[in-house]
């Protein structure tokens, strides 16, 4: 998005130096490696970098203007906006970009399933909008990532912006909603992620529910207790989504539900539509994510009858239930991009649906669960005992998972402890056999992708 200079200066409340050389409009860059001549370079700072160290390089590469909060980072003769904090300035410019955007904005948050739902929604929106959908890559879902997306979007190139919103601190979603001002908000669930940081489930729920603080139409999970309890607080009835093994339990009101792997139902007041679909994504949790995406696409005007071909081709993002065949004739399912209790339980359920000859679950611990860490790990261990034949357990809370598994009746002889990923590789090479399926699930800190890399090398 190109912003008129006058709007940018007003939004930042900044002092403009060397104004004679200032560009007529502002196109923002924060990386000298991708900066184009005429761009405005915003010198962001982080834990491992300081953009002020690169202002001279930015000018050398053709930057027409700088935005800095360190006066000595100015480059003589180059137009410069001196602000209090470049991070806040970047967000303010993103807010201006959002005000200039004429298309639709839809946002997604939740304790689990955000990135998967975003990927599914983007694919479905392509049915109507083609490639005119702006979406953030990977999990760039904090205030910098959301700002980057808003500034990248263009009225010339985009009709829709799909925003993923993550929360690492209490109140984060409210900040992101203030930037993006979505007209539709999808809340996948309110689970147990980041309890240590949030402080309590109530604070977590309050943070997530801020998705609707600016009046966004709500798309809610019909199986999420917090959403059900809070739905009456909304100014308008929500659009519910669900995945069901059969046609029972369809939510009242406006609801979109996937039934098994072959039926899609959309219910509105006095009107029920049903179409045949072929859902290939594994697990009820991923089908619920697909239902959320379908509901979101309907809210933006994609026709239900136009979706079946795309639903059949929905692709999971990298790191989510990826399947790899090994030379030994057994299979790995890698779902360890990250983990919390509800997500791990859902992955174990999907794993059991694979119906392996022998199921081996390799579980790393889960992070940022605070005082509930031990209890939630015991719960996961107990659930794993019912969904796998052999457990390999590691990480900070392996003891709690083992207690849960043994309490649920799994023999100690079928529980293996590991201290490092190399231990898992060694054990699997020695014990995995043809027909086995191995699930890898754990928090990002354990880097379980290295297990896959070693086993397939």
CATH no. of 322-456: 3.90.190.20
Tell me what pLDDT residue 53 has. Answer: 97
Give me the mean pLDDT over the 124-139 stretch: 94
Residue 338 has pLDDT above 90, yes or no: no
Token representation of residue 428? 């699997």
Compute the distance between CA of residue 93 and CA of residue 149 in angstroms, rounded to an integer. 12
Among 47-61, 104-118, 241-255, where is mean pLDDT lowest? Answer: 241-255
Residue 342 has pLDDT above 90, yes or no: no
Residue 145: CB atoms within 10 Å? 19
Span(s) in the chain for CATH 3.90.190.20: 322-456
Compute the distance between CA of residue 163 and CA of residue 160 in angstroms, rounded to an integer. 10
Percent of the chain with pLDDT over 70: 98
Span(s) in the chain for CATH 3.40.1390.10: 3-89
Give me the mean pLDDT over the 332-359 stretch: 92
Residue 162 has pLDDT above 70, yes or no: yes
Residue 195 has pLDDT above 70, yes or no: no
Among 189-193, 272-276, 341-345, 358-362, where is mean pLDDT lowest? Answer: 189-193
Q: Which of 111, 213, 104 is nearest to 161 (CA)?
A: 104
Which has the higher per-residue pLDDT, 41 or 341?
41
DSSP per-residue string spanning 98-153: HHH--SEEEEEE-SS-HHHHHHHHHHHHHHHHTT-EEE--TT--SHHHHHHHHHH-
**Surface-to-core class of residue 445, CB atoms within 10 Å of its CB (0-12 exposed, 13-18 middle, 19+ buried):** middle
Tell me what pLDDT residue 161 has. Answer: 98
DSSP per-residue string spanning 344-385: HHHHHHHHHTT--SEEEEEE----S-GGGHHHHHHHHHHHHH
Give me the mean pLDDT over the 230-234 stretch: 94
Helices 284-299 and 341-352, packing angle to 10 deg: 110
Compute the distance between CA of residue 302 and CA of residue 122 in angstroms, rounded to an integer. 12
Mean pLDDT of the chain: 94
Residue 271 has pLDDT above 70, yes or no: yes
Domain range 101-312, CATH class? alpha beta
pLDDT tens-place string over residues 39-56: 999 999 988 899 999 999
Give me the mean pLDDT over the 272-282 stretch: 94
Compute the distance between CA of residue 404 and CA of residue 412 in angstroms, rounded to an integer. 11
pLDDT band of 446, cuts 50, 70, 90? very high
Residue 193 has pLDDT above 70, yes or no: no
Residue 196 has pLDDT above 70, yes or no: no
| 213: phi then psi, degrees, rounded to nearest 5 | -65, -25
| 402: phi then psi, degrees, rounded to nearest 5 | -65, -40
Tell me what pLDDT residue 67 has. Answer: 98
The domain made up of 3-89 has a fold known as 3.40.1390
Tell me what pLDDT residue 170 has. Answer: 87
Residue 35 has pLDDT above 80, yes or no: yes
Give me the mean pLDDT over the 330-350 stretch: 92
CA distances from 221 to 63, 330, 380 (A): 46, 35, 22
Give me the mean pLDDT over the 404-431 stretch: 97
pTM: 0.91
Tell me what pLDDT residue 136 has. Answer: 87
pLDDT band of 367, cuts 50, 70, 90? confident
Give me the mean pLDDT over the 4-28 stretch: 94
Compute the distance between CA of residue 286 and CA of residue 335 in angstroms, rounded to an integer. 12
Instruction: List residues bridging with 283 in a β-sheet.
Output: none
Tell me what pLDDT residue 204 has. Answer: 86
Tell me what pLDDT residue 138 has. Answer: 77
- Tokens 């990480």, residue located: 395
Percent of the chain with pLDDT over 90: 85
Residue 200 has pLDDT above 80, yes or no: no
Residue 370 has pLDDT above 90, yes or no: no
pLDDT tens-place string over residues 402-416: 999 999 999 999 999
pLDDT band of 167, cuts 50, 70, 90? confident
Residue 168 has pLDDT above 90, yes or no: no
Span(s) in the chain for CATH 3.40.1190.10: 101-312
pLDDT tens-place string over residues 379-392: 999 999 999 999 99
| 426: phi then psi, degrees, rounded to nearest 5 | -60, -45
Tell me what pLDDT residue 198 has. Answer: 63
Give the number of C-alpha atoms closer than 13 A to the C-alpha of residue 25, restricted to the C-beta side: 9
**Farthest CA pair distance, the chain:** 77
Among 5-9, 92-96, 252-256, where is mean pLDDT lowest? Answer: 252-256
């Amino acid at each position: 998005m190109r912003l008129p200079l006058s709007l940018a200066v007003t939004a930042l409340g900044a002092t403009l130096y060397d104004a004679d050389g200032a560009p007529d409009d502002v196109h923002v860059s924060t990386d000298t490696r991708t900066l184009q001549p005429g761009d405005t370079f915003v010198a962001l700072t982080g834990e491992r970098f300081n953009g002020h160290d690169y202002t001279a390089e930015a000018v050398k590469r053709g930057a027409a203007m700088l935005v800095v909060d360190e006066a000595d980072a100015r480059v003589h003769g180059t137009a410069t906006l001196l602000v209090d904090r470049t991070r806040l300035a970047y967000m303010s410019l993103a807010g201006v970009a959002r005000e200039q955007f004429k298309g639709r904005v839809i946002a997604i948050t939740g304790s689990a399933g955000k990135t998967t739902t975003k990927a599914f929604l983007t694919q479905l929106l392509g049915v109507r909008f083609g490639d005119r959908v702006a979406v953030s890559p990977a999990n760039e879902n904090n205030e910098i990532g959301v700002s980057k997306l808003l500034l990248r979007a263009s009225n010339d190139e985009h009709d829709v912006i799909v925003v993923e919103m993550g929360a690492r601190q209490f109140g984060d979603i409210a900040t992101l909603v203030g930037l993006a001002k979505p007209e539709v908000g999808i809340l996948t669930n309110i689970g147990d992620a980041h309890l240590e940081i949030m402080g309590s489930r109530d604070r977590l729920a309050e943070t997530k529910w801020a998705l609707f603080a600016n009046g966004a139409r709500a798309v809610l999970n019909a199986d999420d207790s917090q959403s059900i309890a809070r739905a009456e607080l909304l100014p308008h009835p929500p659009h519910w989504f669900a995945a069901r093994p059969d046609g029972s339990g369809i939510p009242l009101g406006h609801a979109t539900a996937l039934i098994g792997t072959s039926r899609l139902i959309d219910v509105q007041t006095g009107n029920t539509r049903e179409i045949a679909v072929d859902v290939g994504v594994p697990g009820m949790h991923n089908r619920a994510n697909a239902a959320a995406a379908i509901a979101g696409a309907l809210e933006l005007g994609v026709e239900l009858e136009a979706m079946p071909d795309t639903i059949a081709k929905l692709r999971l993002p990298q790191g989510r239930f990826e399947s790899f065949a090994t030379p030994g004739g057994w299979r790995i399912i890698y779902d360890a991009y990250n983990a919390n209790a509800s997500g791990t339980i859902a992955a174990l359920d999907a794993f059991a649906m694979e119906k392996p000859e022998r199921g081996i679950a390799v579980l790393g611990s889960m992070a940022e669960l605070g005082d509930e860490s031990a209890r939630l790990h015991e719960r996961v261990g107990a659930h794993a005992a019912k969904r796998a034949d052999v457990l390999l357990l590691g990480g900070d809370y392996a003891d709690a998972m083992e207690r849960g598994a043994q309490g649920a009746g799994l023999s100690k002889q079928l529980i293996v402890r590991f201290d490092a990923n190399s231990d898992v590789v060694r054990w699997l090479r020695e014990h995995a056999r043809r027909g086995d399926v191995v699930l890898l699930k754990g928090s990002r800190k354990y880097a379980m992708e290295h297990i896959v890399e070693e086993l397939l090398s």
